[in-house]
Amino acid sequence: MIEVGDTLHAPWMDAPAVRRLLAALAQGGVGARFVGGCVRDTLLGRAIGDIDLAVDKPPDVVVQALEAAAIKVVPTGIKHGTVTAVIERRPFELTTLRRDVETDGRRAIVAFTDDWFVDASRRDFTFNALYAAPDGTLFDPFDGRADLAAGRVRFIGDADRRIEEDRLRVLRFFRFYAWFGRPPLDGEGFAACRRSAATLGALSAERVAKELLRLLAAPAAADALDAMAEAGTLDHWLPEFLGTRTLRALMGREDEPDPLRRLAAIVSSASAAVVAKRLRLSTQETLRLELMLSTESAVRLDGDARNLRAQIYRLGTRLFIDRVLLAVEVPGDWRAAVALARSWTPPDLPVTGADVVKLGLQPGRKIGNLLDAVEQWWVAGDFTADRAACLAELERRAADA
């Protein structure tokens, strides 16, 4: 149960690993507060991900306190004040309170501080500057709880200045809206994002792709994308954006969000390779995106179960489901098609090239052609022919060849 008042308490705060970490920091004279997503998501009653803490001592003091308690420490971002404590194979990121000395829109030079308000002031949005002490006492300097309750994504202080410090905050504004926001968008924040849209080309493709895919996984992804298009924030990185009509239909069909499949819903088959290259998607992601959007062998949903099984076998279960869910204008029962794909496992062809060689044929293209012919016959028969029947058909076709 989550209790919320002037304090916050949730079961994860009492986990043995968490208590051990807090005890080690306290023993070393290090003040610590939970910060960011774990506090925000707990206030919303959502499952949390990582547990991050802000600490009021420099990294060397933090490391000393953890090592004194025999806790493994990894210097993951020591230059920026971040170390990772690992307890029972679970990582906890601890970052020293900071203030920005210099920023260039991508990276910041920071100085350490022990002032909690100064640290909060350099963060992006009000509900990301929520801290909770080990006893649950909340520190909310910018009314982040009220914004969170209202579904309002609001920059801390001057929105333009926050974006100048880190241009990625434009994409984060829309990503957080997709996850936590409710209409209307904060006007000041939206206007600042629109003014900064032309500067987004300086961001790295990897950072943009990460933000975009995280946005696409969100419940309000379509609304956020429409707002991004209106603000011009997709112009550089996703000029191929086709709108959200197919995406909205897809979201009505999905059991669980799939960011890459949702990306396929907003671009065309002709632009898939270009988009993947620009966003520097992995080879596997690029191939899947291209296959989902391929115009070859489009799915048909108006046939019987035999026809559907043939398509599942040809495409593979995952790709078949992808293409069915994306085929929002194809007539037929998409629910039945997806249900069949999830319940039926495509079998393996009962004969192989070795069986053809045993018939006395020399290795070469003829073997592949014979296997292809038998496979087509086997699929047309709805996969009912067993190995003996397939061998007989192979022998018959080899004799006629």
**CB 337, CB 317: distance < 8 Å:** no
Q: Which distant-in-sequence residues (6+ apart) come within 8 Å of 361 by Cβ?
A: 367, 370, 398, 401
108: confidence class by pLDDT, cuts 50, 70, 90: low
Does an H or E element contain 26, and which? helix 16-27
Residue 145's Cβ-side half-sphere holds a number of Cα atoms within 13 Å equal to 16
pLDDT in tens, 215-230: 999 999 999 999 999 9
Mean pLDDT of the chain: 93
Q: Using the predicted structure, report yes or no on whether residue 187 has a pLDDT greater than 70.
A: yes
Q: Please report, for residues 207, 282, 312, 328, 363, the alpha-carbon distance to residue 390 in angstroms, rounded to integers and kept in the order given.
A: 52, 39, 20, 37, 19
Q: Using the predicted structure, report yes or no on whether residue 3 has a pLDDT greater than 60.
A: no
Q: Which distant-in-sequence residues (6+ apart) come within 8 Å of 112 by Cβ?
A: 58, 81, 96, 97, 98
pLDDT in tens, 232-243: 999 999 999 999
Q: Which distant-in-sequence residues (6+ apart) come within 8 Å of 229 by Cβ?
A: 241, 243
**CB 314, CB 376: distance < 8 Å:** no
CATH architecture group of domain 152-241+254-296: Orthogonal Bundle (1.10)
Q: Is 1-150 a domain of CATH 3.30.460.10?
A: yes
pLDDT in tens, 139-182: 999 999 999 999 999 999 999 999 999 999 999 999 999 999 99
Q: Can you tell me the distance from the alpha carbon of 126 to that of 140, in angstroms, rounded to the nearest whole number?
A: 8
Surface-to-core class of residue 96, CB atoms within 10 Å of its CB (0-12 exposed, 13-18 middle, 19+ buried): buried
Q: Which residues pair with residue 82 across a beta bridge? A: 77, 95
* Nearest in space to 214 (alpha carbons), one of 169, 162, 172, 246: 172
Phi, psi of 341 (to 5 degrees): -60, -35
CA dihedral 245, 248, 253, 259 (to 10 degrees): 110
What pTM value is reported for the model? 0.90
Of 142-146, 198-202, 296-300, which gets the smallest average pLDDT?
Answer: 296-300
357: confidence class by pLDDT, cuts 50, 70, 90: confident
Q: 361 vs 88, which has greater pLDDT?
A: 88
Q: Using the predicted structure, report yes or no on whether residue 401 has a pLDDT greater than 70.
A: no
**Structural domain spans, the chain:** 1-150, 152-241+254-296, 297-343, 353-400
79: confidence class by pLDDT, cuts 50, 70, 90: confident
**CB 400, CB 374: distance < 8 Å:** no
| pLDDT given for residue 107 in this prediction | 65
Surface-to-core class of residue 51, CB atoms within 10 Å of its CB (0-12 exposed, 13-18 middle, 19+ buried): buried
Query: 347 preceded by cis ω (within 30°)?
Result: no
